[in-house]
Amino acid sequence: MLITPLVTTPYLSRVLGAEGIGTISYAESIMSYFTMAATLGLTTFGRREISYVRDNGRERTKIFWEAKLFEVMTTAVVLAIYIPFALTQENQLLYLILSFNLIAVIADATWFFQGLEEFGKVILRNIIFKAINIAYIFIFVKSREDVIRYVFGLAFFLLLSNVSLWIYLPQYTEKIDIRELRPFRHIKAVFLLFIPTIAIQVYTVLDKTMIGLITQSAFENGYYEQALKISRMVLTMVTALGTVVSPRIGYHFGRGETQKVNAYIYRGYRFVWFLGIPLCFGLLGISSNLVPWFFGAGYDKVIPLLGILGFLIPAIGINNVTGMQYLIPTKRQNIFTLTVLIGAGVNFILNLVLIYFFQSVGAAIASVTAETTIALVQLYFVRKEFSIRQIFLSSRHYLGAGGVMYIVLKISGLKLSSSVIHTVGMIFCGALVYIVSLLLLRDSFLIENVGNILGKIKRRR
């Protein structure tokens, strides 16, 4: 739900301050390693396996309960390690409250419904609990001393949100004898997916950990967290397609329908260029107008960070298509693992050097470089299945239209003061320039999709 950070971030940035947000960001980065160990590769594995057998009630029931039993055991072990660790921390209560995130792992059944392509239930659940969480924040988080209350709300409502999906499970599962379950039969596949999970954590979470350890500054983590929050929020619009499409690709792959799989992938690349490029250029163009009023005083460093992290959008978008939408559903996780490990290595080495000299800006440069490396290496590995030339040529219209949009935004930004109205106006102006530019270029992807939307509207009438 994209509305949540838009509503809560301006409020929290002023109430908790950069230091408070940085403290939470660092603690959550530590918590992420324990959560990763609890889930292993079960989320990705479960979603993929359910997509293969979604038409077979008994098999999907077995896979669900086998994966869940395995997850319960791993989470219990991790909790036994985490609680003593939390008790040794300076912010002891903060770390203890975050243990709710581990309990939420046991309750999580989101991957089951994603594998079945039952996204409506997941979306409805998200809307309800995000709305409750927003209300909680505005009612109970009032000052910089309310860091604990804020973290409690995040962790507790995550747990409740995961539990809520279980009311739908009886509709999709059958009664089964527990003696038929073999939770450890999937252990090899799960651990193969766990390796890339570890690597992904290195360049998505370790940034925050290393900023905290190297700079010893909660402020630097706060700036980085705020910039990353905006870029990730925008990125969701690009990567959300992967969550929807990957089960469908797994389904067609299981049926041997290679042409349909390839058609989905080429369309996925085109979608990333179509949406990712203007979003990247858009962040670059509006960051100096957005940051002062959105975050408040004291967040000027977020402006260059947001400009750099904007390039994560097309980079992650492309490797999401190649990796999550193609390599994982088609059981080529070994290649996926290798590419992610390469990116993780690049990120770690660059972090060591760049954070020391440039602090949070260095971490941002390292992240973008790592994601771009992964995207290029993955494309190299699938060059025999897909035309790399065709993939990059399909971006030319969007680069041209995005470039024109960026110039317009920068010129208008020089003349406009920082305000809500001016930022919104720049966004609408930029979108209009981008769409008109594509229409003048007669972009087939845009014209085709506009035609499909208009066709659906006419049929409903």
pLDDT of res. 246: 60
pLDDT surpasses 60 at 250: yes
Comparison of pLDDT for 314 and 257, the residue scoring more: 314
Rounded Cα distance, 334 and 154, in Å: 34
42 belongs to a structural domain: yes
Tokens of 241: 């397609």
434 belongs to a structural domain: yes
- 396-412 mean pLDDT: 95
67 belongs to a structural domain: yes
Considering the domain architecture, whether residues 315 and 376 belong to the same structural domain is answered as yes
432 belongs to a structural domain: yes
pLDDT surpasses 60 at 242: no
Give percent of the chain with pLDDT exceeding 70: 93
pLDDT of res. 172: 87
Confidence of residue 176 (pLDDT cuts 50, 70, 90): confident
Considering the domain architecture, whether residues 382 and 430 belong to the same structural domain is answered as no
Q: What is the pLDDT of residues 59-114, one digit of tens each?
A: 888 888 888 888 899 999 999 999 999 999 988 999 999 999 999 989 998 888 88
Counted domains in the chain: 2
Rounded Cα distance, 244 and 102, in Å: 26
pLDDT surpasses 80 at 202: no
Rounded Cα distance, 21 and 18, in Å: 5
pLDDT surpasses 90 at 238: no
- 45-63 mean pLDDT: 83
pLDDT surpasses 90 at 432: yes
Of 154, 152, 200, 158, the residue nearest 33 (C-alpha):
200
Considering the domain architecture, whether residues 49 and 16 belong to the same structural domain is answered as yes
Of 137, 155, 115, 127, the residue nearest 14 (C-alpha):
137
* Long-range CB contacts for residues 412-415, cutoff 8 Å, separation at least 24: 413/285, 413/286, 413/288, 413/289
- 105-125 mean pLDDT: 86
179 belongs to a structural domain: no
Torsion sign, CA atoms 187, 192, 196, 199: positive
238 belongs to a structural domain: yes
Comparison of pLDDT for 343 and 248, the residue scoring more: 343
pLDDT of res. 461: 61
Considering the domain architecture, whether residues 390 and 314 belong to the same structural domain is answered as yes
Considering the domain architecture, whether residues 380 and 433 belong to the same structural domain is answered as no
Tokens of 196: 């890339």
Tokens of 157: 């409502």
Give percent of the chain with pLDDT exceeding 90: 49
Rounded Cα distance, 333 and 327, in Å: 6
pLDDT surpasses 80 at 191: no
Q: CA triplet 375, 377, 378: central angle to 5 degrees?
A: 65
Considering the domain architecture, whether residues 220 and 369 belong to the same structural domain is answered as yes
135 belongs to a structural domain: yes
pLDDT surpasses 80 at 292: yes
User: Of 394, 425, 442, at which residue does a domain stop?
Assistant: 394
Considering the domain architecture, whether residues 199 and 83 belong to the same structural domain is answered as yes
- 229-254 mean pLDDT: 74
pLDDT of res. 190: 78
Considering the domain architecture, whether residues 90 and 100 belong to the same structural domain is answered as yes
Tokens of 304: 């260059």
Considering the domain architecture, whether residues 433 and 295 belong to the same structural domain is answered as no
Considering the domain architecture, whether residues 214 and 275 belong to the same structural domain is answered as yes
pLDDT of res. 401: 96
Count of C-beta atoms within a 10 Å radius of residue 412:
17
Tokens of 297: 């005083």
CB of 370 closer than 8 Å to CB of 203: yes
CA distances 203 to 217, 318, 323, Å, are: 19, 16, 16
User: Of 394, 421, 444, at which residue does a domain stop?
Assistant: 394
49 belongs to a structural domain: yes
E runs forming strands in 210-338: none
H or E segment to which residue 189 belongs: helix 187-204
90 φ/ψ angles, rounded to the nearest 5 degrees: -65, -45
Q: What is the pLDDT of residues 255-290, one digit of tens each?
A: 777 788 888 889 889 999 999 999 999 999 999 999
User: Of 394, 414, 437, at which residue does a domain stop?
Assistant: 394
Confidence of residue 199 (pLDDT cuts 50, 70, 90): low
- 344-360 mean pLDDT: 93
Of 166, 137, 175, the residue nearest 153 (C-alpha):
137
Q: Which domain holds residue 457?
A: 395-461
Rounded Cα distance, 329 and 286, in Å: 37
Comparison of pLDDT for 347 and 461, the residue scoring more: 347
Considering the domain architecture, whether residues 115 and 24 belong to the same structural domain is answered as yes
Comparison of pLDDT for 281 and 252, the residue scoring more: 281
Per the prediction, the chain carries an average pLDDT of: 88
Considering the domain architecture, whether residues 352 and 448 belong to the same structural domain is answered as no
